[in-house]
Chains A and B, each alone.
Chain A
């Protein structure tokens, strides 16, 4: 353990935040936040997407400068000018999207964080020691790009531990883990806490917080709305603190599927970049009037599969992807749209929407067949009218069709994009992580819209990291692991545990055991 700073009060809380405020041009991300963490405490910071959790953690870690407020570590007031300063204070952070270098080895990655002056042999030994001590096996010589997401997280954690942190920030750590690995992570965190390390645990998964944390601070819209002992709360009571009302659930009657509309037939596809995933003989059928959900830890080929289905990437064998019976493998995304496909991609900004263009122009991006173009000329009134219809139909909060896409909140822009795709009367609808980073209200609305679309006889394919979401809306679930897709299972006849085991995949199991 790193010794406390000079003048530190051993009885003082590890971290005290007072009145932390951070304005961004369009939003107040943090509004007078107070927070206190005791030594050896596992403290949850709970809030839905956009509540200000990430901004707060970045402020503690020195990556974002607060507009106002005070920070004290071990009773000593501090200014944290940057991550280097935070680390000097004994603060470590494990990021949701890792801060690792893929082209380098584990040892290189850790050496970078520890700065110069460590011999490689000594470092290798320390890595092995620490990783064994905390049950996080690692091979220092391996390249990060060859590792699974779970293994990469281990690198991040070990990298923090080698610096003897006294406060460890974990940002949504389980979003990249298969259920069995979550238990292992919790065991590690409990060991650390027992040794006196304080842990700030950021999550929106309520049952995890109830299982792990002793205290929780709840954020909503940038403010603290409650503090509690999560072990004494129910999921429902935590949810009310988090969103101010009960969690909504979509209505979901049993499906009555028709004929197969979308078929993927033994699709094998090499990785497109050196760190990508190859698809290995993936087969899949989506029938009219059903929702097929694809589960999996991100980075197992879902992205590649969706790209191949939607035409973002063409595939060599045309009949590896079919709409009805038409081979479409070699058609680009626009040509597949002409055959009735609609698609909501993972990233809103820069992919599904052009941030600096108006909503009307963003409608034109994919909906030009809906009478928005005549003889090659853009029909501006039609374009604005279409955007207006989407805004009205999906309750998008925006200044109107001329509002610039990036001026909308994440949830509203996502509703616009989902609406734009649904308004084109599709026969196949593909949605990748349709509620990622979206507030609970918008997420519920989008899920309901997907179910309604299914009820109108559309074939719907959804990929998601969130098992709960898939179980909520899917009729069938298939699991992607290592570029392979499991056979589909009826959602009502399978369990989260069964799917979780498949997500870990045989490959990961072997490594986990090693």
Chain B
């Protein structure tokens, strides 16, 4: 029983960075913008959060710094693809490559630094309850943040006027423009939100999941988050399912090693990447499923003629 509870907690912990980053990208893509720079924004968020935490001693200021850093990188991307209508694929790649370089550069003096980080909740009398204690009251605070964000985005997209506007812009920026919406402003908002989420996802890695900074510490999670959005067919709830699935796969490698299973560690480490490929192939093979759910203007530049 206890190991099962432990597994759920660990899976959620591994799923959280994917959930945060994928939710942000989902909102960005729902507005019709494809930002392939998630990995770069996550890394930059991770390093800035870590540095801020070292400097101020406050992990929460660190998280804020991560969000601002992610949004800052997203703003550069926004200028390129929204204001200057540059190719979204190329600009996203550029953002990822830039983020890798920037984070490595900025974090060089902090590779061996230690921080206290953000610890899982420990509420006297509640966390120690059997089963429900660790599940409801014993997670890392950022795990709750991610789950609240999930509910909020689901509600925002499908129950509010603002969400309706975002979906409309993602389907047809021309039509949204024609009925008087400022498409660029709305898309900037969604891109910045996506960047902030990726930044927080990075902050979670460097402050909560493994409180330290190392070069390229995201290890492709930004790219997996992109795949998750496709897997989820742009629906927030399914992002959670995907993130948990991948959290489980990530966990499996550590669990197998701990259990003394005689498999090369490198083979186990391949699992999340192989799983991403397999899942992507399975979900993409049904073109109707993708066409029906993908924002129709995804990746297509739009600029009003005035």
Contacts and interface: CB of A to CB of B under 8 A. Distances in A.
B is a partner of A: yes
Interface in B174-211: 174-182
Contacts of B180: 82-87, 113
A116 interface: yes
Interface stretch (B15-23, B46-54, B73-81, B163-171): B163-171
B303 to A, nearest CB: 12
A212 to B, nearest CB: 24
Contact of A101 (B172, B177, B288, B304): B172
Contact of A99 (B174, B292, B305): B174
A100 B175 contact: yes
B178 A63 contact: yes
A95 B172 contact: no
Contacts of A98: 175
Given A273-B288, A273-B291, A111 B178 contact: no
Given A83-B178, A112-B179, A63 B306 contact: yes
B179 A62 contact: no
A93 B171 contact: no
A104 interface: yes
Contacts of B161: 111, 115-116
Interface in A274-293: 274
Nearest to B289: A274
Interface in A101-160: 101-104, 108, 111-113, 115-116, 159
Contacts of B164: 104, 108, 111-112
A342 B181 CA distance: 43
B248 to A, nearest CB: 32
Contact of A64 (B288, B291, B305): B305
A99 B178 contact: yes
A65 interface: yes
A113 B305 contact: no
Contact of B171 (A58, A83, A102): A102
B165 A99 contact: no
A120 B85 CA distance: 36
B167 to A, nearest CB: 7
A65 B288 CA distance: 39
Contacts of A108: 164, 168
Given A104-B168, A273-B291, A274-B292, A64 B179 contact: no
A410 B164 CA distance: 37
A54 B138 CA distance: 63
Contacts of A104: 164, 167-168, 171
Interface in A70-106: 81-87, 93, 95, 98-104
A95 B178 contact: yes
Interface in B224-243: none
Interface in B148-168: 161, 164-165, 167-168
Contact of A274 (B171, B179, B288): B288
A159 B306 CA distance: 24
A273 B291 CA distance: 7
A103 to B, nearest CB: 6
A116 B160 CA distance: 9
Contact of B179 (A65, A99, A116): A99
A65 B180 CA distance: 14
A324 to B, nearest CB: 33
A469 B192 CA distance: 51
Nearest to A116: B161
A95 B63 CA distance: 47
Given A62-B306, A63-B306, A273-B291, A112 B165 contact: yes
Nearest to B180: A84
A63 B304 contact: yes
B174 A101 contact: no
Contact of B305 (A63, A93, A95, A100): A63
A104 B167 CA distance: 9
B170 to A, nearest CB: 9
B305 A101 contact: no
A141 to B, nearest CB: 15
A101 B292 contact: no
A62 B172 CA distance: 18
A83 B174 CA distance: 11
Contacts of A81: 306
Interface string B270-306: 0000000000000000011001100010000000111
A274 B289 CA distance: 9
A116 B171 CA distance: 19
A86 B168 CA distance: 20
A415 B176 CA distance: 35
Interface in A42-84: 58, 61-65, 81-84
Contacts of B306: 62-65, 81-82
A98 B306 CA distance: 20
Given A64-B306, A273-B291, A83 B167 contact: no
The 6 closest A-B pairs by CB, nearest first: A84-B180, A99-B175, A99-B178, A65-B306, A116-B161, A83-B180
Given A58-B305, A65-B306, A101-B172, 17 more contacts: A63-B177, A63-B304, A65-B305, A81-B306, A82-B180, A82-B306, A84-B181, A85-B180, A86-B180, A98-B175, A100-B175, A101-B175, A102-B171, A111-B161, A112-B165, A112-B176, A159-B179
22 contacts: A61-B178, A64-B305, A64-B306, A83-B177, A84-B180, A85-B180, A87-B179, A99-B174, A99-B179, A101-B167, A102-B172, A102-B296, A104-B164, A111-B164, A112-B165, A112-B168, A112-B176, A113-B180, A115-B161, A159-B179, A273-B287, A273-B291
Interface of B: 161, 164-165, 167-168, 171-172, 174-182, 287-288, 291-292, 296, 304-306
Interface of A: 58, 61-65, 81-87, 93, 95, 98-104, 108, 111-113, 115-116, 159, 273-274
